[in-house]
Amino acid sequence: MLKRAFDVLVSGIGLVVSAPLWLLIGAAITLEDRGPILFAQDRVGLGGSTFRALKFRSMVPDASRLPPRQADEDDPRITRVGRWLRATAMDELPQLYNIFRGDMSFVGPRPLMPGEIEVRGAGELVRLDAIPGYAARHSVRPGLTGLSQVYAPRDTPRARKFRLDAIYVRNASFCLDMFLVAVSFWITFRGRWEVRARKL
């Protein structure tokens, strides 16, 4: 109850306070390539159900035509504005609406795309739902931030991220959530999401 009350209150305030930023970010995206401002995508949530997650578009307009996979640091699909949005996590700002609706929470495992794949070193394609620990992540609402988002760099193998998610699920508490929210604000303030290391 306390977690959900926090989510509703803070996301509601965040949506109001961040409204001017939405206008500025929308203008920057439009000026770069005239493509759509928002990007909606199916994600897997609580209990394995799907929902439409919203983000500011950080990739070229036709990126969704390619097989779903995690972006890497030098991904050519990412736009110039998109690199700044990702470094500051501003591309996630529209997910405040998902949190307000109850699709997501501020803290939890990152919501993944249905059928998402991981590309391994030898070019092997592996479905994420075949990696141990995948299903356990869906016993809680997915989050904007969490243990794996904070402590695992973007190119960390998903098996390790899923282990961090499992640690969160087993030890979830309001105090842990507040700690992860505070660390996430610090990373955002420094603009270090794309280059963060395990030691912050």
Locate 102 and state its tokens.
């109850």
Taking the complete model, does pTM exceed 0.85, yes or no?
Answer: no
**What per-residue confidence (pLDDT) applies to 187?**
84
The encoded tokens of residue 26 equal 């929308």
Q: Are strands 143-145 and 125-127 parallel, antiparallel or unpaired?
A: unpaired
- pLDDT confidence of residue 68: 56
Taking CA atoms, 8 is separated from 14, 20, 68, 105, 172, in Å, by 10, 20, 30, 9, 18
Give the distance from CA 184 to its chain's centroid.
Answer: 12
Q: How far apart are CA 95 and CA 97, in angstroms?
A: 5
Beta strands in the chain (DSSP E): 38-44, 50-56, 105-107, 117-119, 125-127, 143-145
- One digit per residue, the tens of pLDDT, for the chain of length 200 reads 899 999 999 999 999 999 999 999 999 999 998 889 999 999 999 999 999 999 999 888 876 665 555 655 567 788 999 988 988 889 999 999 999 999 999 999 999 999 888 877 677 788 888 898 999 999 999 999 999 999 988 778 889 999 999 999 999 999 999 999 999 988 887 766 665 544 44
Measured on CA atoms in the order 158, 160, 161, 165, is the torsion positive or negative?
Answer: positive
Tokens found for residue 45: 């949530």
Amino acid 73: pLDDT: 58
Helix H or strand E encompassing 32: helix 19-33
Task: Give the three-class secondary structure for 89.
Answer: coil
pLDDT tens for residues 58-116?
888 876 665 555 655 567 788 999 988 988 889 999 999 999 999 999 999 999 999 88
Q: Concatenated DSSP letters for 74-116? A: T-TTB-HHHHHHHHHTGGGTTHHHHHHHTS-EEESSPP--TT-
Predicted local confidence at residue 5, as pLDDT: 96
Both tokens assigned to 73:
């640091």
Q: Tell me what pLDDT residue 196 has.
A: 56
pLDDT of residue 199: 45
Classify residue 41 by burial, with Cβ atoms within 10 Å: 0-12, 13-18, 19+: middle
pLDDT value at residue 146? 94
